[in-house]
Amino acid sequence: MVSLIDYHGGSYSESFDLIVHSPPALNSAIPKLFKLRAGSDYEYSIPIEDKSGVTLTHSQIPLAFTNVEKFIYLFSPKELKHLGTYQIIAKLENFWGSITYTFKVEVFNDPPYFIRAP
């Protein structure tokens, strides 16, 4: 609120909203490494504070990884060719700035084992 008072005792007050724009921000930490067991589906949503006006770009996404919605990744590693570690670089950007983050996805498979001795 702003108030003005003159020397003659007159006054005027006005209130207003001040909108502060800022670059995209994450509302929680993003893990640097996701470990995924082959054969299962995983969904990850980027924890962004305000999605309005924000665009998402990323490095090439490996096989079995899909950007299903603007801020949601689906990991569905089903085959042996999906095993390995992948690095994904994502950039969130709006008119006021951008942030870039990198994370890795490791797809592993449990080795076979005996339930009982042969």
**pTM for the model:** 0.64
Tens-of-pLDDT digits for all 118 residues of the chain? Answer: 788 888 888 888 888 777 777 888 887 777 888 888 888 888 888 777 777 788 887 777 777 777 777 777 888 888 888 888 988 888 888 888 888 888 888 888 877 767 777 6
Alpha helices for the chain (secondary structure H): none
Query: In the block, which residue shows the tokens 């983050």?
Result: 101
In the CATH scheme, what architecture does the domain 23-108 have? Sandwich (2.60)
List the one residue out of 71, 74, 77 whose CA is nearest residue 48: 71
